């Protein structure tokens, strides 16, 4: 495993996620969030918690990139990463996103856009990780004759 490339791909995906998150949440889904404001923290409280969210996301991207590297099959990096991202998204949707709809008072529209957003964003981040990650070069071992 190439740990330097794992770190580089995790960091690149995290950096991309910040403006993508802004565009998705503050521009594209602004009206959806407004319709579900009763289920949200007040904006000042959310803003105060952003550093925690960014830090947790960075840790998540390191885990994401590490998992990608552990399962790396050696095919086209971007496509393999995209497939990996979609699989991770489906895992997240099954274990978390759908349950947010079950537990919190959000409407079906918000739940649906959260599922679509999770799949699209994870596919994007997977493609980024897959493009950047390359396995460590094989070491030549000097085997002495016994």
Q: In the chain, what are the domain boundaries? A: 3-132
- Write down the pLDDT at residue 144: 62
Q: What is the pTM of this model?
A: 0.89
Q: What is the dihedral of CA 57, 44, 20, 88, to 10 degrees?
A: 40
- Write down the pLDDT at residue 73: 85
- Banded pLDDT at 34 (limits 50, 70, 90): very high
pLDDT at 145 over 60: no
- Write down the pLDDT at residue 135: 83
Question: Phi and psi dihedrals of 42, rounded to 5?
Answer: -60, 150
Is-contact 65 13, C-beta < 8 A?
yes
- Write down the pLDDT at residue 63: 98
pLDDT at 57 over 90: yes
Q: What six digits make up the tokens of 145?
A: 């004759």
pLDDT at 17 over 70: yes
- Write down the pLDDT at residue 146: 56
Average pLDDT over residues 81-103: 97
CA 97 from centroid of its chain's CA atoms: 13
């Amino acid at each position: 495993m190439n740990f330097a490339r794992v770190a580089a791909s995790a960091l690149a995906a995290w950096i991309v996620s910040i403006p993508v998150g802004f565009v998705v949440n503050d521009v594209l889904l602004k009206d959806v969030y407004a319709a579900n404001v009763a289920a949200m923290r007040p904006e000042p409280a959310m803003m105060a918690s952003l550093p925690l969210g960014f830090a947790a996301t960075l840790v998540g991207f390191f885990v994401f990139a590490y998992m990608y590297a552990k399962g790396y099959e050696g095919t086209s990096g971007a496509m393999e990463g995209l497939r990996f991202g979609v699989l991770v998204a489906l895992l997240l949707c099954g274990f978390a996103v759908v349950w947010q709809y079950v537990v919190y008072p959000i409407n079906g529209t918000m739940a649906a856009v959260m599922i679509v957003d999770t799949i699209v964003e994870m596919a994007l981040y997977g493609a980024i990780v897959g493009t950047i990650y390359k396995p460590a070069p094989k070491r030549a071992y000097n085997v002495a004759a016994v």
